Chain A
């Protein structure tokens, strides 16, 4: 199950648990960094690797749930909660806020492995999607203002002739812009360009989304 470069962050205030769980995860081939409190975790500068955060519900400074809430506003690894007692309201709250899993101590090995895998997989996917978006934004930034106008009109469903009329330019000029756009955005087809525009949140100025 070993995957390269993924990190497990473990936050638990009990040194015995920290030590043992870290040992367990290490024996499963994962790389683990442990923290005794939320503050310690927040102070740590994480590497860019795919990761998962195992968070004890009861921490000495702020509760695991509060930390989860705080992390929701920034890019952060997926969270697996661990708790001494299966407290239903807390687990419901944690899951609703997007936690991968809520495990009770002592932690079941299979459940732990499954949760970590799920968390890391989701993190990878999110990272990939973020990376793709960043790439698209990079390409989009290469477009001239006129090309951006053209892009928004054509993906909005206007024919070349109509779009040219809207902008008050010749149809042939418009076609020229359009091929420039396809090239700069590295689009395989017009359908691909429409998808890209959607991800970038570009809409036809006349159509309200």
Chain B
């Protein structure tokens, strides 16, 4: 047995010792040491690890040079003091190992920390076997140990990074899951187990779809199965029941992980609690609805106040003129000329109050437009034909940029015509006092994904307030009623469109209205 000649290394007599085998007195003499044995000694000393032997009681007998170099001890020191180089925590390990091995007879492997000459402990892996007599009594231990510090560290780092990752996965405020290619759950983070109240060992039996709100379950399951079959991204929003029976809204996203050939290896997913957001959206929606109702009521109230005021002013004038008329007529010498003038004013003011009433009728009549498929470009062309006179009279220029093949909208022809006429006439009138540049009226039609957009732009002086002009009875004109734009807006809104104005002193005013494209 080659190993049994290991006593050659670093023995008391440095070069060679006699090794007793089986206690039988069989001897290897010095002269038996050949060149081969010297080679062997060198090999052992150069061996990148510890090689050593110990007595049956565990006390070190001899070792190779590596041990002495590492510990910085002589063999004598090592023999007397080997315990000082083993980490105190590991001495018991060594002893237990020896004890175990002595009884079982099996080679034993263990890991322990050994102190280097500079006081630093490094991890070593040791493997030992025993030389025994015919009764199985241990005669001597033969051991090798090698440095596994780097390996240990890498292992530790890996464990730590795994721990950290696990911590992240368990801590991120979302339910994280991994599913097999067939769609069944493979792994989840702690939050999933906590939310659904599933013990980790029962995860394999856990069917998430059973914890989906009954109203959402069907769609949720079908969506997931469709995604798994199509191997495409999965996204869904549904309510999940928590361990304590409460349903909360979640948004679920899953993404398949594929191998090089594109086969799905597994699904990775997050399920995020969006219940608070959902509640907020709901609250916002209902607030908006309430607000729009309130705005409508406020508008009606404001409108009626404005109407009442407008009519009352006319009536006040009629009454005051009536009083005056009576006075003039009842004087000693009635001034008939004056009386006639006042009577005419009474007729005029009475008619203007009646006109308010007529326009208001028109405003409310528009609530039910007769909608037909309508080509807005055609209506624009028609309006321009009708307005030709006015345009010429006011020496304005008209520039049109109408998108070809504009889709149809569903609208009341007369009403839309009214809107465009109103905006065109406003534009022309707004430029009446412009003298330092051409009075250019620009009409443009275009479309986006859902709407037809018409822009009517003037190069007048602009408006002070682009929103106030839509209020009933607001007017910037000498003889205006202030109803035109209010009516235009109500017509456009009755067609599910919007009418707005943008204005600046230099650029004039652009009125823009939209009408939905007929689907």
Contact = CB atoms under 8 A, between A and B. Distances in A.
Contacts of B315: 105-106
A14 B356 CA distance: 15
11 contacts: A16-B349, A19-B321, A20-B345, A24-B320, A24-B324, A24-B327, A27-B324, A27-B327, A85-B309, A106-B312, A106-B318
Interface in B268-326: 305, 308-309, 312-321, 323-325
Given A14-B317, A106-B319, A107-B319, A20 B312 contact: no
A24 B313 contact: no
Contacts of B309: 84-85
Contact of A17 (B313, B324, B327, B342): B313
Contact of A27 (B316, B317, B328): B328
A27 B324 CA distance: 5
**Most chain-A CB neighbours within 10 Å: which of B309, B313, B315, B342?**
B313
A105 B318 CA distance: 11
A24 B324 CA distance: 4
Contacts of A26: 324
How extensive is the interface on chain B, given as a class? 20 to 34
B313 A107 contact: no
B320 A107 contact: yes
Interface of A: 14, 16-17, 19-21, 23-24, 26-28, 84-85, 105-107, 109
Interface of B: 305, 308-309, 312-321, 323-325, 327-328, 342, 345, 349, 352
A85 B342 CA distance: 25
A16 B324 contact: no
A84 B311 CA distance: 10
Given A20-B321, A24-B323, 5 more contacts: A16-B313, A16-B345, A19-B317, A85-B308, A85-B309
Contacts of B328: 27
B352 A16 contact: yes
B308 A20 contact: no
Which secondary structure dominates where chain B touches chain A?
Answer: helix
A106 B316 contact: yes
Contacts of A17: 313, 316-317, 320
A113 B393 CA distance: 50
Given A16-B352, A84-B309, A23 B321 contact: yes
Given A84-B309, A105-B313, A20 B327 contact: no
A26 B320 CA distance: 11
Contacts of A106: 312, 315-316, 318-320
**Most chain-A CB neighbours within 10 Å: which of B312, B320, B345, B349?**
B320
A106 B323 CA distance: 11
Sorted nearest first, the 10 A-B pairs with minimum C-beta distance are A106-B319, A27-B327, A105-B316, A20-B320, A16-B317, A20-B317, A27-B324, A23-B324, A106-B316, A20-B321
Contacts of A16: 313-314, 317, 345, 349, 352
A84 B321 contact: no
Contacts of A105: 312-313, 315-316
**Most chain-B CB neighbours within 10 Å: which of A19, A24, A105?**
A24
A70 B320 CA distance: 29
A24 B316 CA distance: 11
A85 B309 CA distance: 8
A139 B309 CA distance: 55
Contact of B316 (A20, A28, A109): A20
A109 B312 CA distance: 16
Contact of B324 (A14, A20, A85): A20
Contacts of B312: 84-85, 105-106
A24 B320 CA distance: 6
Contacts of B308: 84-85
**Most chain-B CB neighbours within 10 Å: which of A16, A21, A105, A109?**
A16
B323 A109 contact: yes
B320 to A, nearest CB: 4
A107 B345 contact: no
Contacts of A27: 323-325, 327-328
Given A24-B324, A28-B327, A85-B309, A19 B316 contact: no
A35 B305 CA distance: 25
A23 to B, nearest CB: 4
A99 B385 CA distance: 58
Contacts of B342: 23
A85 B307 CA distance: 12
A20 to B, nearest CB: 4
A114 B38 CA distance: 144
Nearest to B352: A16
B320 A23 contact: yes
A21 B324 CA distance: 8
Contacts of A84: 308-309, 312-313, 316
B320 A21 contact: yes
B337 to A, nearest CB: 13
Contacts of A107: 316, 319-320
B313 to A, nearest CB: 5
Contacts of A14: 313, 317
B169 to A, nearest CB: 66
Nearest to A15: B317
Nearest to B353: A16
Contacts of B321: 19-20, 23-24
B305 to A, nearest CB: 8
A85 B304 CA distance: 13
Contacts of B316: 17, 20-21, 84, 105-107
A19 B313 CA distance: 12
A16 B313 CA distance: 8
B310 to A, nearest CB: 9
A19 B321 CA distance: 8
Nearest to B349: A16
B246 to A, nearest CB: 51
**Most chain-B CB neighbours within 10 Å: which of A17, A20, A109?**
A20
Contacts of B318: 20, 106
